[in-house]
Amino acid sequence: MTSANPPSDPGIDPERRGIQPGEEHSTKRARPKDTRKDRHRWELARGPITAFGETKVVSAWAKDARCTVNLQALRTRLALGWNPETAISRPRHERGVLEYTHAGRTMTLRGWADQSGIKYHTLWSRIKDSGMSFEAALDKGAEGAHFTQLVSAFGETKPVSHWAVDARANCAATTLLRRLAEGWEPERAIIEEPLSRSNLGSGLPYHAFGHSMGIEDWGRHTQIPAGMLVHRMERHQVTLEAALRSFGWAPSNAVDSADAELTEVTSAHLHPRDHIPAVSSDADPIFTVRRPAAPPAETQRRSPAAPLPSTRAPAAPAPSSPPPVRRR
């Protein structure tokens, strides 16, 4: 039995199907109107923009040394109504960082998770969901029998996860476990600095010249990119201190210490070469800047060299040609 309304064939002419011209699309559902509102006011990102006592167009501000984002991001911030100085100077992805201090060492929560062997989400849940203090969350230790293995060193006995967060520990819990499995002496396994680390930016401390800080902090302190430091350490199997010396850096020839390089200024006192690691959220923002030292001015200019006396003998005069003979 055939259906009274057989399905239409798109290849058949509409007039042969009994449909009048112009009615073949009448049965389709109309597309709903877009009712979304654009939050951007792009006119705010056009024309001259005034900030830090100067007036430039957006493309010129994007090339300014004080600008921390690219041109598109700067336009978007201005179109969203950001204050021009904040839109220019605030670093991208700026957000609160979970940092905790324990045993005289400050690291991010991710760094402490890598250091202690405790899973990041486990550590987060203990602090945020269970309401435990950071010390209590660390003291509970990592899960797994290998991390609860007791180790005796320096006259004390405690689990591997506790030794990893001890002030004397210079390696992570996983490195400590591997060293103990290889037969290292416990004291040496705890205090010896690894030759290289593969977790750039995790917050694990690197030790050099009597100081301990993360690799990103070492990069900011020495003005040597952190990636170059890690590459040098891994490729040549050297410590951080040796890598820094290979780049020609040491505390004795550093221009200033990290504390001396950081200063707080208002927007009116920013310099084009200032690096801005932080900005306060006040109505009148205060900028924490790292200001590189100005290159030393030349004390004296070299005078143009006097021409050297010639050692060549003077050229002999050209022989005079005889007077022409007139013919009669």
Query: What is the average per-residue pLDDT within 186-206?
Result: 69
Query: What is the average per-residue pLDDT within 294-309?
Result: 45
**128 membership: H or E segment, kind and range:** none
Q: Supply the pTM of this predicted model.
A: 0.38
For residue 187 the two structure tokens come to 């004291």
Strand duo 105-108 + 150-153: pairing: unpaired
**5 membership: H or E segment, kind and range:** none
**CA gap 198, 202 in Å, rounded:** 9
Do 63 and 70 meet the contact criterion of CB atoms below 8 Å apart? no
In the predicted structure, residue 206 carries a pLDDT above the cut 60:
yes
Classify burial at 17, counting beta carbons within 10 Å of its beta carbon; exposed 0-12, middle 13-18, buried 19 or more.
exposed
For residue 253 the two structure tokens come to 């020839």
Helices (H), 80-211: 84-89, 109-116, 120-124, 134-139, 160-164, 173-181, 186-191
Contacts 24+ apart (CB under 8 A), 265-271: 265/289, 267/51, 267/52, 267/53, 267/85, 268/52, 268/53, 270/52, 270/66, 270/89
Percentage of the chain modeled with pLDDT above 70? 64
**CA gap 184, 177 in Å, rounded:** 10
In the predicted structure, residue 16 carries a pLDDT above the cut 60:
no
Counting every residue written for the chain, the total comes to 328
Degrees (nearest 5) of the Cα angle 267, 268, 272?
80
Higher pLDDT, 211 or 242: 242
The string of pLDDT tens digits covering residues 91-119 is 876 555 578 888 888 888 888 988 898 98
The string of pLDDT tens digits covering residues 17-56 is 555 555 555 555 666 665 656 678 888 888 899 999 999 9
In the predicted structure, residue 250 carries a pLDDT above the cut 60:
yes
Do 174 and 117 meet the contact criterion of CB atoms below 8 Å apart? yes
Residue 69 pLDDT level (bands cut at 50, 70, 90):
confident
The SS3 of residue 284 is coil
* Least trusted range by pLDDT, from 4-13, 168-177, 304-313: 304-313
b/e sequence 239-275, b meaning 16+ C-beta within 10 Å: bbbebbeeeebeeeebeeeeeebbeeeebeebeeebb
pLDDT value at position 305?
Answer: 43
